[in-house]
Amino acid sequence: MATDALDRVNRAIVRELTQDGRLSVAALAERVHISRAHCYSRLNRLQDAGVITGFTVRVDPVKVGLGASAHVTLKLRQHNWRELRATLLAIPEVWHVSLVGGNMDVILLVRARDNADLRRVIFDELQTLPGVVDTQTYMIFDDHASGQTVPPEDPAAA
């Protein structure tokens, strides 16, 4: 099931669960206007197809003691990417890793207790990794997620 094959009901299911992943199947079915059995079946298919990969909780990083956040870009020796990816994901302060094109190769979302802890992560953990040639740090003063979960439905397809 490709994302372009998601129909209106599947898009609604994904959108509702993104807003509240704790919804019961009965409540979800009511919100998307289908039967509970049909909802359960669609939910299973979305999970089996890998469209829904899990359920999680969103937390406010500041309220859980992570007062300093930054996007950190890394310039790498290209042959090191696969080995480095696992290492980066194992660093607790690294919340997100993206391989990108452009002047830098990787963009990280790093969250730390404070600026001193952020400095430690960047200088002692990231810059010392084999294959890292250069880093740049962009402090985050305020951040918000759009809540967008699936591309908007194509009006021509409706």
Distance in angstroms (rounded) separating the CA atoms of residues 68 and 113: 6
Could you tell me what percent of the chain has a pLDDT over 70?
89
3-class secondary-structure state, position 23: coil
Q: pLDDT grade, residue 152 (50/70/90)?
A: low
Residue 2 has pLDDT above 60, yes or no: no
Of 90, 100, 82, the residue nearest 136 (C-alpha): 100
> How is residue 111 written in tokens?
């969250």
Distance in angstroms (rounded) separating the CA atoms of residues 56 and 95: 14
The stretch 32-56 carries a mean pLDDT of: 95
Global pTM reads 0.80
With tokens 């919100």, the residue in question is 31
Tell me if 67 sits within 8 A of 133, measured CB to CB: no
pLDDT in tens, 50-106: 999 998 888 899 999 999 999 999 999 877 788 889 999 999 999 999 999 999 999
> How is residue 34 written in tokens?
């289908």
Q: pLDDT grade, residue 148 (50/70/90)?
A: low
